[in-house]
């Protein structure tokens, strides 16, 4: 198993590994925690093998708004069809931050990809926090953010269309969370779900939130991954955000995703 970084901020590709066979879970976990998002190529995994890998890394859970594929309730299909203009989750976000216990991580496996485009961007929230001034860190240290599954002003995505017919989720989490495994601090607000600071109005919260949303996705905090069929990404939702680039209109993109259980941010 070889590890090759893909950017200065975060992200590493794991080479010479077949996830359908035995591998060192401890070593892979170590690399995952160091690089925040890890990538694999040419993984011909069927749903059962995909689930086996997910179970080796954590506890797969069902996604709150989308039913799983036949026989595998924890595996959802993330797709954009040829005639569609909106992508699933097509904004910068941390997965389901509106839950009381947001996921530890998520895995995405490419089944069908467009002939061009459809890359995914990732941003390190460790680096975003570290780059803040000491006074800003003090200001944020006592704040909590309200995160909602129905944020009104978000650019519409296929996920939002599903949500219209579902219950609303809302949770308060620290604006700065401490990673339970590494002990590092990370920003934990996101454009997709964070609506205001607890105890403040939307209007009062907007200026600071807008600054944080712009700050936390600066190019120097990011990496970009180009998919191929059989590519797999596994990201740490506690310290990284992601954004699927919606630049392949007229083409089909189909992925399988598994979400892993997390804990309450602290």
DSSP 3-state assignment of 93? Answer: strand
C-alpha closest to that of 221 among 239, 204, 195: 239
Q: What is the pLDDT of residue 165?
A: 47
> Which residue numbers in the chain have pLDDT < 70?
152-166
Q: What separation in angstroms does the CA of 78 have from each of 12, 67, 130?
A: 23, 11, 33
Q: What is the pLDDT of residue 74?
A: 97
Distance CA 243, CA 118 (A): 10
Q: Which residue bears the tokens 């590493």?
A: 12
DSSP 3-state assignment of 49? Answer: helix
- Number of neighbouring beta carbons within 10 Å of residue 58: 19
Among 1.10.150.570, 3.30.200.20, 3.60.130.10, 3.40.50.300, what is the CATH number of 2-260? 3.60.130.10
Contact 80, 158 (CB under 8 A): yes
Furthest CA-CA distance within the chain: 53
Q: What is the pLDDT of residue 49?
A: 98
Contact 245, 33 (CB under 8 A): no
Check if 252 is active-site: no
Check if 153 is active-site: no
Q: What is the pLDDT of residue 157?
A: 52
Write down the catalytic residue from 193, 196, 242, 256. 242
User: Which residues face 107 on adjacent strands?
Assistant: 234, 258
Contact 159, 169 (CB under 8 A): no
Check if 215 is active-site: no
Q: What is the pLDDT of residue 160?
A: 47
Domain boundaries, the chain: 2-260
Got the DSSP string for 99-163? SSS--SEEEEEEEE--SS---EEEEEHHHHHHTS-HHHHHHHHT-EEEEETT-TTSPP-HHHHHH
Contact 222, 121 (CB under 8 A): yes
DSSP 3-state assignment of 214? Answer: helix
Buried b / exposed e over 226-259, threshold 16 CB at 10 Å, is ebeeebbbbbbbbbbbbbbebebeebbbebbbbb
Check if 242 is active-site: yes
Distance CA 107, CA 163 (A): 21
Contact 68, 116 (CB under 8 A): no
Contact 10, 21 (CB under 8 A): no
Write down the catalytic residue from 158, 177, 196, 257. 257
C-alpha closest to that of 226 among 9, 30, 11: 11
Write down the catalytic residue from 35, 95, 193, 236. 95
């Amino acid at each position: 198993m070889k590890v090759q970084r893909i950017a200065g901020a975060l992200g590493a590709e794991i080479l010479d590994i077949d996830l359908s066979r035995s591998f060192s879970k401890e070593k892979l976990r170590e690399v995952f925690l160091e690089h925040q998002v890890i990538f694999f190529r040419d993984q011909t995994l069927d749903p059962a093998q995909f689930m086996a890998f997910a179970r080796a890394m954590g506890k797969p859970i069902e996604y709150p708004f989308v039913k799983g594929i036949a026989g595998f309730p924890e595996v959802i299909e993330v797709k954009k069809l040829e005639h569609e203009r909106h992508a699933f989750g097509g904004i910068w976000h941390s997965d389901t931050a509106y839950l009381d216990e947001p996921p530890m991580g998520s895995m995405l496996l490419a089944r069908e990809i467009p002939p061009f485009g459809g890359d995914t961007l990732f941003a390190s929230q460790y680096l975003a926090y570290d780059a803040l001034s000491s006074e800003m860190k003090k200001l944020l240290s006592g704040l909590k953010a309200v995160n909602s599954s129905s944020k009104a002003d978000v650019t519409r995505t296929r996920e939002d269309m599903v949500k219209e017919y579902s219950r609303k989720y809302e949770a308060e989490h620290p604006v700065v969370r401490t990673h339970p495994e590494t002990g590092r601090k990370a920003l934990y607000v996101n454009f997709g779900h964070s609506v205001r600071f607890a105890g403040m109005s939307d209007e009062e919260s907007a200026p600071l939130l807008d600054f944080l949303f712009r700050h936390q996705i600066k190019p120097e905090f990011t990496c970009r991954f180009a998919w191929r069929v059989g590519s797999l990404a596994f990201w740490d939702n506690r310290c990284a955000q992601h954004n699927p680039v919606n630049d392949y209109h007229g083409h089909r993109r189909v992925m399988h995703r598994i979400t892993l259980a997390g804990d309450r941010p602290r």
